[in-house]
Structure 1
């Protein structure tokens, strides 16, 4: 950090949330005695300032006045770059060139005199304009071809096309070779050359004559990037991206090219030879150079808000800035010569000079004292005790602190939005969406607040994030949740994360969860009696009719009663219902009530489709009996191991195929680049060389790349579908484990391992992580013997190449969990008469957690402990 700070003499801030870049500002006198400051934003707003700094009794009067803004004009398209030169034939005056994406225009600044300052009018008059066929990147002006007293325009497009305009007339256009991304473009008058840089990190110089010989003279011609091969006059390897370039003329009539890289400043001669280089220990943002007494002066702005002035390679001065600019220029105002003009990316424009006001901070003198180790140990013990006490009370303090800052309430509208008039509804697959309303009441001032809404794929939320600053009162945010893909639904949880920074600068975050309406993702379907996967949920209360549990589907259930009245009166009474995905994917999940026992049966032909209804039954039963302290739900069957293993197999196969196609694409791309290099070498040779079927090989490789890419996109889409299905299976198994007789400590470990989140990142796939977790379980509290516990715990991730070993470990873990539950469950004679015995001595959990809809969701993670014994043959064959 610098000791001194710059002195602000004039500043103004642009409105309307405009953005700017390094090409958005120029400083030029145009045809006046003092400089004009001209800026153009990406919103298409052009502003011309001429600050008037008055001197009253020897004191410089600073500050922005309304008369300093002499012109403001709005264009239809963003302004990419500005330039000033003699651009009109027959006129020796300077004119303003404005570059837009598909147009470059030349304007004249016309002054209409008045009786006072506020009576003077400035008008932009359009002289001519050229339409561009390709999207422009930047341009440069100069005396191309050795012309005198007039400037030509060279526009560089995004794909490397250089278009020359000889003032009002079209000149020619051509492509420069080896081009990928556009870089800075400058003109060197002495050698009549263009100097540019690209994504290959080379500085290249092209003669105007070579470009002219290879150019197309007719505007209607469409040149291609491979039609001509233009050799550069000289190249200079940078080995880093180029931020900015400029050309300066020394008093000895010698020209130099100043290049600013990401870590270095280069000075090149007109022949491309390195004169000197300055390496920075910071990241520069922008620079401006000028010549003073045969020395090259360079002003560099760093990312630490510091302006540094170099004479050649020697640092002469540095000062601290008040903000972070992206563009710097020098200007000669009416009463202040050589001031710095700074522009930030959000539109802050400032004129300042180098200040000599030192910082008031003085470093304290170093105190070299011998350490008292006994006293240090006592202090360390005291600090450790304080840290331990704070850690124990961290959760309590954090919750109390958050509650004093603000409260957050979530509300989902149960009525689904339909109709094309609704916003974002065209993106929903089933033409339906629900609206989430978030109410926030700030009790104290909050500096920054960010809300993030998280839903599980295939659900989508728009908008998903909100950001506010200086929050002092009640706020309300609304967003739409809808189905974005034709996939199964892992769960209907919607989590809102509020991250905020209080007025004291303390960061905190709050999480709240709510439930998305079931009707958004499923629809009523006729129930099925025979299915492959069945789950029985036992309750210790009378069965609740499905028409009461699923009141939001009551219209469909009543409609089905009339259809089933003659066939089956039990089902007609609300004892059976079917639910299917609204996108017609997956299988139908049926919910049936037992005739003579307190049991619900949920069945389907797929565990993936069964998942959502199991979770919904637990959630809706807990909500219905939330005031009943003794209510409990129990699952006493066997875990669905086989469907889970099948889904894991499918995920492993698809993921392996995706990895194989990625590697194949990498090999084909390398082969394609090698063929291109061979073709370029043969085409550049002075003597013609036969291509020896390289063209055929190039076409075949391109065809194979296209075919492999299509396969990769298809398999990648299939991988996303299989990931969701695996998440559904894991969520179903985890939900059933919560309803079994598992102690809290073991359940917390199982939940951390069987998390229903499937992520396949590079070099670490889901199978690799779960295999390490399974081995940890088998060597710790699920170990079969003490010998297994003595083995080293698995602590490293290794790639799973064969799925059979993982299948064995997964099966062992699920079987040992079930066996451990059976062994820990008492099996007395009283319990044999009822297969659904309940441990009365354990405190109920439903009432403690089910006081609100958000707390009910947590009840599934702390389900009550219920005894489990094998079901008898009579109960298994019971009619449902």
Structure 2
């Protein structure tokens, strides 16, 4: 529940209200103009009439109001009101007396007749004048400059009209029609050419656009509000970010904060159909509150110097509300009556409870069981599509983990360690109780909290083929939590890591699956998940795969070469450190003895040696990080070899934790595990994974590559 709520400052019920606009008609404060479907136009001065009816003037026109805009449409005449109706575009001037601002009158300046019913309009700000573009119901646009019509009936390439917007940074007209966002140069429209209009760029929104806004800064952006998401694009059509909503959006307002001087961030408010206001700073949800209505129009205005940046909302039923976000503490709550406590009765209840506690302890039911020890159970809780944590990547889902303890007894202090890895399974939760043995629990996170759907990559370097004796199961049935409709190919991408993707293919002709990735550590993750789902979908299925010794050999050779280079760098670093210390000692001795003739030479020598020392230290750190990363990949391949051996009913000592928590080298560890065997590291690994022939035929990927690719394509 949100702490803030919309506090009602001024509210009106105006039936058939359809449009609102704000502008400083009087002095330095803004006024609100409300247009209705029955042609009524009302002027509201909320900053001067806080506790009374703030409607200054009501004008009855002959046509329904679709949209209103204000600006200097004529030279030397500021804040002219442009009112768009289906058949006319009228321009009004609001006259008022400075001695009595409540005396307001409308003066109709001029109008333009529309031969085709109008739909909407937008302002075009040029260097010399302010113009209006009007879009008709048949997707034709007309340009008006004051009382002149520059051009009309310029047809857009669309079937249904939608929101339009003029982008000053790119001098282009932005249109949203048929689920697409389009951009066309304004100079092409104003040229009067009858040729077919070609868009500079277009973007598939995948939803119905409701509103367009432009944010002008050093990096101008275009905001598109759709029913289920808001998308931010550059003026060149490149997507910057996107936010998806749980409810249908109804209105949006981009505003500027006068308190926080941050001109680069886009601040905007989105109203949703579940009566909520979502306040964003770029992609970050700053706050949300309940609006007690479903706004279809939203403005941020300053009606006087006290109430600045207040919200103006209009609902579909004509309710107009001007308010602000605030709390409503209950300062006048009547205190409850003081109850008289019977202390004698309470003492008897306390004695009874103490007696029950002693009886329970004597029977052995209240303390920590010596045999059972402490208990820990892990269960998954709520899963969400998008986290709002400030330090998380965009659009990353979340999944809560519930911990339940048992047999705690008199334990008052617990140490909980959480370890999580993606490449290999690990002991996820370690509960360490002082003076008691540790309790270890493992849990496998849901796949959709680790991965998101991504395009498949058939050219990935690392691949693993899986053979079965049953027809392949469509991948869109195996992975139902994803929205893929392709039964023979699916791709996954680790949330927050653009380079970590893995693809799975199914070949129905050969009853085989293939896992492919540019990240060798993801082969085990995808293999384990795929095997478990196949075994759940098909009973008594026989599965086989070849252990990827070539990948293991490649990583082992890289580690060996990197270890040699690291040793050489370590020797060089030791030599350079001795050299630097010797130069420092010589410089100090010369300074003490007063011999300053060689100081400049020693400084140059010291600078050269120190620079070389830093370079070798950087290379040493780079080698060390590379070795650690490849050891993690090797552990993942060891776990993959263990799982492949397991489905072949062969037990092996090699697994993901084979080389961890040991001070031995990889060769010493392998020789200790293989006992009396000798040979290279890869030979020892093959010996540890050695097993009898499988029941399934041995897989040769070079012979089956074309079959699998054609089957996956079909």
TM class, shorter-length:
0.3 to 0.5
What TM-score do the two structures reach when normalised by structure 2? Answer: 0.44
More helix by share: 1
